[in-house]
Amino acid sequence: MVDKEFERPKGTEIVYERPKSLTDVVTHYCPGCTHGIAHRLVAEVLDELDARERAVLVAPVGCSVLAYNYFNLDTQQAAHGRAPAVATGIKRVLPDRVVFTYQGDGDLAAIGTAEIVHAAVRGERITVIFINNAIFGMTGGQMAPTTLLGQETTTSPKPTGRLAERAGYPIRVCEMLSQLDGAAYVARGSLSSPQNIAKAKRHIRKAFQAQLEGHGLGIVELLSSCNVGWKMSPVDALKWIDSHMVPVFPLGVFKDWSAAGVEAARLADSGVAAG
Amino acid sequence: MNLGVIMAGFGGQGVMSMGQVVCYAGLAEGKEVSWLPSYGPEMRGGTANCAVVVSDAPVGSPLVARPDAVIIMNRPSLEKFEAALKPGGLLVINSSLCDKEPSRRDVRVVKVAATDLANDLGDIRVANMVALGAFLAACPVVKPDSIVDALKKNLPPHHQKLIPLNKLALERGAEAAAGQL
Amino acid sequence: MGQRVLMKGNEALAEAAVRAGCRFFFGYPITPQNEIPEYMSRRLPEVGGTFIQAESELAAINMVYGAAGAGARAMTSSSSPGVSLKQEGISYMAAAELPGVVVNMVRGGPGLGGIQPAQSDYYQATRGGGHGDYRTIVFGPATVQEGVDVMSKAFELADKYRTPVVILGDGMMGQMMEPVSLPEPLELAKLPLKPWATTGAKGRRPNIINSLFLDAEECEKHNLALQAKYDIIQATEQMAEIAFPDSDWFVVAYGTTARICREAIQEARAQGLSVGMVRPITLWPFPVNAFEKVVERAKGFLTVEMSLGQMVDDVRLAVNGRCPVRFFGRTGGMVPSDEEVLAEIEKMVEGRTR
């Protein structure tokens, strides 16, 4: 897509426009879905890092399977769960490119658990955008590995919703990956409010910096809404992120190479050996 | 000439490298060769064997079902391979570790106390070369000199000093076989 | 071609891949092909390449997908159970039109099976193996030298047709040592450019590597385009060897089984039997043209495989009822002996004359 040049009235300046890393098309996402926000945040960061022309996106199966239509980037579509392996192949061939995956919770935390864990184990210089909306959206609202206890889905139905005895517990990906030495930056943000969205963007930027500076794998989990799958209004869905998801998936930075470095230096200065 | 040989013993007795060195020597002499190891769990400590073919023509099957010769480094190998040997074939037995008499009467038998002779030379690891020396005396499929050249070419630098010992082992084996031919 | 050196089949194939410009290898250990990843792990860094021991065969083939999509010559190797896991990725590669080479040193199956040589993955290799209407080019070399030779060809055809290529060996070929002449290494700079690769959309529209076609009409169109490519491959890339084409009877075998059959044929000819051999080198495309050269004069074919009868289906299709097609096979890691094959040849000839 080529951006159209607009005639700008004299004395005005553009303060808000479509990032160059996005295409000029209408997405297929449901009204109220937060994928559009996540897309935009990633695109803004790529523009700001001047990375669009050296970025390669890996889009596996999920609602975002058509991401190649929305990002104005070289893209490889990947099999369900395999995006971190595909991204590994790309990054090893093209180490100076900016390679990132955009994965949902079923993709990353169910079928692709091995791939994300081992990409982090190897410290692959890739960035992972992980959309956690606690449900399989694309296939029609089935239980995800991140579905909350008691949450009703088409495969964890009424009257109990997800029952621990039958279906186990929601998986906390950031907490798990932050234990791995190869993960350089691990953070969880939320797309539930303007403040949270601004914070999420800072996480995304840092996760790309981890790659650009060669520190290791950077992952940002974004708590997202699926108002259609959850059978809620878009506004209620955003509120539900805060009221129900955040207590299970606390927001914050779980690992930050730069903080680790600062902390180690501080401890060294104070004569305490870093553990 | 198309000769199929099976070499068999315990893992660690050097039967695999014995087969390989024959192939290297054969290749250097312009012959066609193949080496096929038994593979799998037995590689790691149990019985091991390899099949070697040396031929004037391109090697057909690398699998030697009916060997022309068998080199037996231990007793279980005799029990495993004696029956497969072609009538008139050659059976070389390491009598140090195989006290059983062969039951076949239609084959040539050469016994060599390979492990004892290697011990006498000061290094049990050259038992394979003693047995090979005996085998080549009875069945000169490649020249012993070619074996020594192949060792020179293929042993890593830190093992090159072992070449005189290996040469001696080949000679001891040949001497042990001489009286039985 | 350089001077002849003695090499293990697995290592020779690995070195041949390096010389064919492969700089990216992704694998997972499984017997009897471990010498390929082991060799690559020390060899590729010497030439500026990358070796990754992946967390699974699924990951390994998807790393090949990514690397191939980024424009590199990439490969993986495995043995039967591992290749079953790779089928997902092979289907995606075929659909997304990505080049790559997959070596399968076949062992006895099904399930965990055994680790001894087999040819029971013929259907899987030649029928596509994964889901969907697709084929992969498949080579079935008979010697270590031929394995080396087809490796260069495999990368060349993979790039030419943008399709995955399978080399179907077996445990025997992987483990045996034979003299080989290795080709001179290809210069990477001289390899064909890949303007379709995802290298970053700098000064051009984005490149998209994709196998998703939600619109059925579009998906059919994509399939027809793939099929048109397969038609060209079938017409132009068949490889086979015919031994003693003037014979009355023919043995059909590929890979190491063909070597055993060659010995049986020599023995049969020494007995005065008029027996030749058709030896497919490409298993897909199946070399039907080679059969056309001998089928009119042939009194019968004997297909020999290390399986319970898979390639024999293709032989029957090629012969198309014009003369009898018999089968003999051993399976589960058992290797047919030349004596068994000779006995089957004699049965075939006697059955005809009785």
In the prediction, which pLDDT does B45 show?
Answer: 54
Query: In chain C, which residues have their Cβ closer than 8 Å to the Cβ of A73?
Result: 201, 206
In the prediction, which pLDDT does C353 show?
Answer: 45
Tokens found for residue C105: 């040193």
Q: Which residues contact A152 (CB under 8 A, 6 or more apart)?
A: A158, A161
Same domain, C80 and C118: yes
- Indicate the angle between helix axes C216-236 and C80-96, nearest 10 degrees: 110
CB atoms within 10 A of CB C292: 11
User: Which residue ranges of chain C lie beneath pLDDT 50?
Assistant: 353-354
How buried is residue A116: exposed, middle or buried, by Cβ count under 10 Å (0-12/13-18/19+)?
A: buried
Is the preceding peptide bond at B41 cis, omega within 30 degrees of 0?
Answer: no
Length of chain A: 275
Q: Which of residues 1-40 of C touch A (CB under 8 A)?
A: 24, 26
Tell me whether residues B39 and C175 touch, CB distance under 8 A: yes
Closest residue, chain C, to B25 (C-alpha): C6
Give the nearest partner residue to A53 out of C69, C89, C201, using CB atoms: C201
* Mean pLDDT within A253-271: 77
Tell me whether residues C175 and B24 touch, CB distance under 8 A: no
Same domain, C231 and C119: yes
Distance (Å, whole) CA B112 – CA B135: 9
Nearest to A95 by CA among A183, A204, A211: A211
ipTM of the prediction: 0.95
Domain A35-269 fold = Rossmann fold (3.40.50)
pLDDT-above-90 percentage for chain A: 88
Which regions of C79-181 does DSSP assign to beta strands (E)? 100-106, 137-139, 164-170, 177-180
Say which residue the tokens 């490119």 belong to. A97
Closest residue, chain C, to B29 (C-alpha): C4
Q: Which residues of C164-199 are buried (b: 16+ CB within 10 A; e: fewer)?
A: bbbbbbbbbbbbbbbbbebbeebeeeebeebeebbb
Give the nearest partner residue to C55 out of A86, A90, A114, using CB atoms: A114
Same domain, C337 and C227: no
Tell me whether residues C172 and B60 touch, CB distance under 8 A: no
Same domain, C16 and C29: yes
In the prediction, which pLDDT does B14 show?
Answer: 93
Give the range of the structural domain holding residue C305, as residue numbers without chain letter.
240-353
In the prediction, which pLDDT does A259 show?
Answer: 85
DSSP C23-59: -EEEE---TT-THHHHHHHHHGGGGT-EEEE-SSHHH
Q: How far is B181 from chain C (nearest CA, A)?
A: 31
Closest residue, chain B, to C144 (C-alpha): B34
In the prediction, which pLDDT does A275 show?
Answer: 36
In the prediction, which pLDDT does A265 show?
Answer: 66
Q: Which residues of A252-274 are buried (b: 16+ CB within 10 A; e: fewer)?
A: ebbbbbeeeeeeeeeeeeeeeee
Tell me whether residues A77 and C208 touch, CB distance under 8 A: yes
Q: How confident is the model at residue A164 (pLDDT cuts 50, 70, 90)?
A: very high
In the prediction, which pLDDT does A2 show?
Answer: 46
Q: Which residues contact C240 (CB under 8 A, 6 or more apart)?
A: C278, C279, C280, C281, C282, C287, C289, C290
Coil, strand, or helix at residue A154? Answer: coil
* Mean pLDDT within A211-235: 97
Q: Do chains A and C touch (3 or more CB pairs under 8 A)?
A: yes
Final residue in a domain of this structure, among C204, C236, C268: C236
Say which residue the tokens 């009916």 belong to. B66
Answer yes or no: is pLDDT of B162 > 70: yes
- Average confidence score pLDDT of chain B: 94
In the prediction, which pLDDT does C165 show?
Answer: 98
Where residue C256 sits, what CATH number does that domain have? Answer: 3.40.50.920
Q: How confident is the model at residue B122 (pLDDT cuts 50, 70, 90)?
A: very high
CA angle C50, B44, C27 (to 5 degrees): 20
Give the nearest partner residue to C67 out of A82, A93, A118, using CB atoms: A93
Tell me whether residues C262 and B60 touch, CB distance under 8 A: yes
- Secondary structure percentages of chain B, helix, strand, coil, to 5: 45, 20, 35
Say which CATH superfamily domain B2-178 falls into: Pyruvate-ferredoxin oxidoreductase, PFOR, domain III (3.40.920.10)
Sheet holding B108-112, edge to edge: B108-112, B90-94, B69-72, B2-10, B47-55, B32-37, C177-180, C5-8
DSSP A47-60: HHTT-GGGEEEEE-
Which regions of chain B does DSSP assign to beta strands (E)? 2-10, 32-37, 47-55, 69-72, 90-94, 108-112
CB atoms within 10 A of CB B136: 22
CB atoms within 10 A of CB B72: 32
CA-CA distances (angstroms) from residue A263 to A212, A256, A274?
22, 10, 8
pLDDT-above-70 percentage for chain A: 92
In the prediction, which pLDDT does A273 show?
Answer: 46
Give the nearest partner residue to C55 out of A53, A74, A118, using CB atoms: A118
Helix (H) or strand (E) holding A254: strand A252-256
Cβ atoms A19, A40 nearer than 8 A: yes
With an 8 Å Cβ cutoff, is B68 touching chain C?
Answer: no
Antiparallel, parallel or unpaired: β C137-139 and C164-170 = parallel
Tell me whether residues B65 and C338 touch, CB distance under 8 A: yes
In the prediction, which pLDDT does B40 show?
Answer: 65
Distance (Å, whole) CA B85 – CA B52: 14
Tell me whether residues C89 and A82 touch, CB distance under 8 A: yes
Distance (Å, whole) CA A122 – CA A221: 19
Distance (Å, whole) CA B101 – CA B95: 9
* Mean pLDDT within B142-171: 96
C343 Cα distance to chain centroid: 29
Position with higher pLDDT, B177 vs A273: B177
Tell me whether residues B60 and C115 touch, CB distance under 8 A: no
With an 8 Å Cβ cutoff, is C60 touching chain A?
Answer: yes
Under DSSP, the state recorded for B92 is E
Say which residue the tokens 């490969």 belong to. C75
Answer yes or no: is pLDDT of A94 > 50: yes
Backbone angles phi, psi at B4, to 5 degrees: -110, 125
In the prediction, which pLDDT does C307 show?
Answer: 98
The H-assigned helical ranges of C237-305 are 255-270, 288-294
Tokens found for residue C348: 């075939």
Distance (Å, whole) CA B114 – CA B136: 14
Q: How far is A58 from chain C (nearest CA, A)?
A: 9
Position with higher pLDDT, B12 vs A165: A165
Tell me whether residues B61 and C256 touch, CB distance under 8 A: yes
DSSP C301-344: EEEEESSSSSHHHHHHHHHTTSS-EEEEE--TT----HHHHHHH
pLDDT tens for each residue of B16-69: 999 999 999 999 999 999 999 987 655 555 679 999 999 999 999 999 999 999
Q: Do chains B and C touch (3 or more CB pairs under 8 A)?
A: yes
- Return the partners of chain C (3 or more C-beta pairs < 8 Å): A, B
Total domain count, chain C: 2
Q: How confident is the model at residue A11 (pLDDT cuts 50, 70, 90)?
A: confident
CA-CA distances (angstroms) from residue C28 to B81, C33, C82?
35, 10, 8
Give the nearest partner residue to C115 out of B39, B59, B60, using CB atoms: B39
Same domain, C140 and C244: no
CA angle A87, A89, A94 (to 5 degrees): 90
Sheet holding C137-139, edge to edge: C50-53, C24-27, C74-78, C100-106, C164-170, C137-139, C282-284
Same domain, C141 and C28: yes
Q: How far is B134 from chain C (nearest CA, A)?
A: 24
Q: Which residues contact A105 (CB under 8 A, 6 or more apart)?
A: A130, A131, A132, A133, A134, A135, A144, A145, A146
CA-CA distances (angstroms) from residue C205 to A23, A52, A53?
11, 12, 10
Query: In chain B, which residues have their Cβ closer than 8 Å to the Cβ of C337?
Result: 63, 65
Same domain, C83 and C162: yes
Where residue C75 sits, what CATH number does that domain have? Answer: 3.40.50.970
Give the nearest partner residue to C62 out of A68, A82, A122, using CB atoms: A82
pLDDT tens for each residue of A122-155: 999 999 999 999 999 999 999 999 999 999 999 9
Antiparallel, parallel or unpaired: β A98-104 and C240-243 = unpaired
- Asked whether the CA dihedral C12, C14, C17, C21 is positive or negative, the reply is negative
* Mean pLDDT within A229-247: 97
Query: In chain B, which residues have their Cβ closer than 8 Å to the Cβ of C172?
Result: 36, 62-63
